[in-house]
Structure 1
Amino acid sequence: MTRVADYLDLVRAPASLTVLGDAVVGALSARGSGGDSPLRGGALAASSVCLYSAGMALNDWADADLDALERPERPIPSGRITRSRALAVGAGLTALGIGSAFAAGRASGLVSLALAGALWAYDLVFKPTAAGPVVMAVCRGLDVMMGAAGPGWRGALLPAGAVAVHTVAVTAVSRGEVDGSTRVTGGAAVAASVAVAASGLLGG
């Protein structure tokens, strides 16, 4: 019997906290404090969490065979959740994320469509390729821009770029999770993180 805890494990629920700030940063950079209503902020935060969680479920659906060898404790290879159910969770959360973004405004909704497309493309096509980290970076950058969508959106380009660069570094390092990474990758990730931190000094 599948438990709620199994679904939370599938979507890496604790990790979804890492995206809550994306849309907030985008909105604040575009329109400043008080520029958006709390309802809009809540809808955007919900959209970010739903789309991130959808990506996690799709990741496990796409990697089920590989996980059976490298991560047998995960929900699908351990038999706690079927592969078809994981796909249904990913599709359902994608729809919820897009719906929440449109509830925040048409402009944010349109950006969420691009974000959802990038998420699905990453998990189904690009993840094992050299372009994987870049596509994931596009996802996180679009998450920031989803919050910025509307008046003043150009003000969020620098924060979105910073988040994207940081994501490239983290994703590149994470690809060595099982077999290890290289000194070059590690050094580049450190340099990127320092650059991203320095970029904060350029903001208001």
Structure 2
Amino acid sequence: MTGEGRGIVSAWAELLRLPALFTVPGDVLAGAATVPGRPGPHTLWAIASSICLYQAGMALNDWADRAEDAAERPHRPLPSGRVRPTAALTAAGALTATGLALAARAGRPALTVAAPLAATVWAYDLGLKRTPAGPAAMATARALDLLLGAATVSGHVRPALSAAALLGTHTLAVTTVSRHETQGGSPLTALTALATTGALALTLGRRSGDAQVPPESAHLTACGHGPAHPLRAALAVAYAATAARPYFHAALNPSPPLTQKAVGGGVRATIPLQAALSARAGAPVSALITAALAPLAARFAKKVSVT
């Protein structure tokens, strides 16, 4: 690849925040783990749909923020001229259409969830993120992404509402911190996110008495072993460790660099959170698959920022 070609690839990887892409499949897998039924090919279509809709949101985000970024982050792909605004907007539209088509391929229940998910993504990027409703809108998008997995496997989302609420709560905390990452946040916001992380970690570590055991772990139960409590506890600790330290540092000094690190830590913590939700639902295979994405996210985060 020529130097120009590498530059184009690098610009789009930065625009789409490539490391954050690894936080997406775990949403669908965690949702699928909470309902009766066995994940199959339709689940892969749902994951592909989720990835497309997430990337659409990334491209649309920079298109909507191009004027603000020109003043505060001129190095970003659009204000620096490495990606044209029309190309970013076109990509957002194409990715959204592709995501909805893939959801339709996964089944009507999946499309029923993917449609409001896409609408939430566009509503957030085009206006809601600049209002007090912004963090709640982003939390809703993440929760819907998890429900997409549940709808794809069973056609029902009610058993997944608890897991969706936990994921949404984490996303709410991260997004609230991120609202002032370029100017610097406040100690109270970071402390609130830290307390939220601790509460979620404790919830994840407790046995879920009403969790249903999906077919992928049924053979473990038949052999006299329940859902792996040590795995669930280890993932809950990994979640807390990933998010808590940067939140604590941002609480002590809410400067832009430390606030940005806190946001990055919160985004990366999404992966062990998703894995813990799968383990909590009695799906250790899904939990391990999701957890395996964390090293990949960390590796790419050294080259491309997740925020």
**Shorter-chain TM-score category?**
over 0.9
Residue 106 in structure 1 maps to residue 108 in structure 2: yes
Which stretch of the first structure deviates more once superposed, 72-81 or 180-189? Answer: 180-189
One-letter amino acid matched to 2:35: A
2:175 corresponds to which letter in structure 1? T
8 Å Cα contact 1:30/1:151 also seen in 2: no
TM-score when normalising by structure 2:
0.63
Report what 1:65 is aligned to.
67
Which of 186, 192, 196 is the equivalent residue of 1:182?
A: 186
**Gap regions ≥5 residues in structure 2:** 212-307
CA contact (8 A) 1:172 1:185 kept: yes
Query: Where does structure 1 lack aligned partners over 5 or more consecutive residues?
Result: none
> Is 2:9 the partner of 1:7?
no
Report the 3-state secondary structure (helix = DSSP H, G, I; strand = E; otherwise coil) of the residue aligned with 2:35. Answer: helix
CA RMSD of aligned residues (A): 1.4
Contact 1:163-1:196 at 8 Å conserved across structures: no
Alignment of 1:193 onto 2:203 = no
Deviations along 1:167-199, one digit per CA (max 9) or x if unpaired, are 000001111211111122111111211222222
Structure 2 equivalent of residue 164 of structure 1:
168
Q: Distance in 1 between matches of 2:207 and 2:176?
A: 26
2-structure distance, mates of 1:102, 1:192 = 35
**Where does residue 88 of structure 2 map in the other structure?**
86
1:142 Cα deviation from its structure 2 partner: 0.3
Partner residue, 1:155: 159
Find the partner of 1:120 among 122, 141, 158.
122
Q: Who wins on radius of gyration, i.e. which is larger?
A: 2
* Contact 2:16–2:59 (Cα < 8 Å) also in 1: yes
State the AA in 1 paired with 2:39. D
| Paired AA for residue 171 in structure 2 | T
Aligned to 1:43: 45
* Aligned residues of 2:27 and 2:145 also touching (Cα < 8 A): yes
For residues 168 and 202 of structure 1, do their structure 2 counterparts lie closer, same or farther at Cα, with a shift above 3 Å needed? Answer: farther
**Of residues 38, 58, 62 in structure 2, which corresponds to 1:56?**
58
| TM-score scaled by length of structure 1 | 0.93
Per mean C-alpha deviation after superposition, the further-off stretch among 158-167 and 190-199 is: 190-199
Deviation at 1:102, TM superposition (A): 1.3
Once the two structures are superposed, the pairs formed by residues 137-148 of structure 1 within 5 Å of their partners are 137-148=139-150
For residues 54-78 of structure 1, give each alpha carbon's deviation from its aligned partner in whole angstroms, at most 9, with x where no partner exists: 0000000000000001111111001
CA–CA separation in structure 2 for the residues paired with 1:25 and 1:107: 17
Distance (whole Å) between structure 1 residues aligned to residue 36 and residue 145 of structure 2: 16
Partner of 2:162, secondary structure, is helix
The amino acid of 2:188's aligned partner reads V
CA deviation after TM superposition for structure 1 residue 124, in Å? 0.2
Count matched residues: 201
How far apart are residue 10 of structure 1 and its match? Answer: 1.3
Deviations 1:130-155 (Å, cap 9, x if unpaired)? 11000000000000001111345211
Distance 1:12 1:189 in 2: 22
Looking at structure 2, the residues matched to 86 and 5 of structure 1 have their Cα atoms a distance apart, in angstroms, of: 14
Once the two structures are superposed, residues 113-166 of structure 1 have per-residue CA deviations (whole angstroms, 9 ceiling, x without a partner) of 000000000000111111100000000000000111134521111110000000
Give CA-to-partner distance per residue, 1:84-116, whole Å, 9 cap, x none.
Answer: 110000111111111111111110111100000
- 1:43 and 1:103 in contact (8 A); partners too: yes
